[in-house]
A and B are shown apart, each in its own frame.
Chain A
Amino acid sequence: MKFGIIQFPGSNCDQDCHHVLEGVFGQPTRYVWHKDTTLGDVDCVVVPGGFSYGDYLRTGAIARFSPAMKAVAAHAKAGGLVIGICNGFQILCEAHLLPGALIRNKNLKFICEQTEIRVETTDSPFTNAAKKGQILRVPIAHGEGNYFAEPGVIDQLKREDRILVRYVNNPNGSVDNIAGICNEGRNVFGLMPHPERASEAILGSEDGRVIFESILASQSVAS
């Protein structure tokens, strides 16, 4: 499966994702510069973590208008897979590819720690290899990870089984303990925790692997 990782000025998890996808999973992986207008031959887009454009104005607000994000939106519209991790999740919300927004953590602190998230549904290309209710130990590292959406939107997410992962112990004040959601078409996923930082035993947890294994499994089902 071919992966493309978007690089913005200020992205800092792009190489971690590349390392995991190509080094750990052996998948052909390329970088897509934020000024690129096309993604190339890519099955799954990764919008990585970091501080794109210095988090100026709001997290993800400027990145959303980059040429590469137009290509990502077109890829998503055509049913292609998109996963946004941390700043990537914030960017996908700003780009309206996912509903809601990520606001300042409730305690105003930048939180960098191991967390536990629960897989709430396996009905997605990003969680199909996991078990419903499975607990994953995956780290977070963010100052703005507090998921917010109006009650009507939260109801819709629940009704449509689009909350893919929730925090076991809510670290940041997110509504309904939400750690990650998908879009209506279930091909765009955003989450604050970093599965790419929990994909090798040497890093203390391999629980994040199941997210990437799900993505790979989804293609073998589709093809």
Chain B
Amino acid sequence: MVEKPPFMKAKIIVTPKKTVFDPQGKTVQHALESMGFRGIKEVRVGKFIEVELKGGSPAALKKKMDEACHKLLSNPVIEDYTFTIK
């Protein structure tokens, strides 16, 4: 039997929605291009958030994390999010 690790970690990525103009991404793209980086289609700048969890059933944790992302960690009006829990 595989022993469960005592802690789990949620890794959350928040990015600006496609419909939202991302001036930061645009500026980073221009900087990359001016340093000679070719072939960029688009750059979007978002956030990476790590949450350490004390464990629990994967389904329950996923549900809780989804709520956290929806209510606080991202603003669904302007941002999308994805996360993994391991």
Contact = CB atoms under 8 A, between A and B. Distances in A.
A and B form one complex: yes
Interface residues of A, number: 19
A41 interface: no
Question: Nearest 3 A-B pairs (CB), nearest first?
Answer: A101-B77, A101-B78, A108-B23
B43 to A, nearest CB: 14
Contacts of A173: 21, 23
Nearest to A96: B77
Given A57-B73, A101-B75, A101-B77, A150 B19 contact: yes
Query: What range describes how many residues of B lie at the interface?
Result: 10 to 19
B2 to A, nearest CB: 35
Most buried by A among B16, B19, B78: B78
A57 B48 CA distance: 11
A104 interface: yes
Contact of A61 (B16, B21, B75): B75
A148 B77 contact: yes
A149 B77 contact: yes
Contacts of A101: 75, 77-78
A103 B20 contact: yes
A39 to B, nearest CB: 23
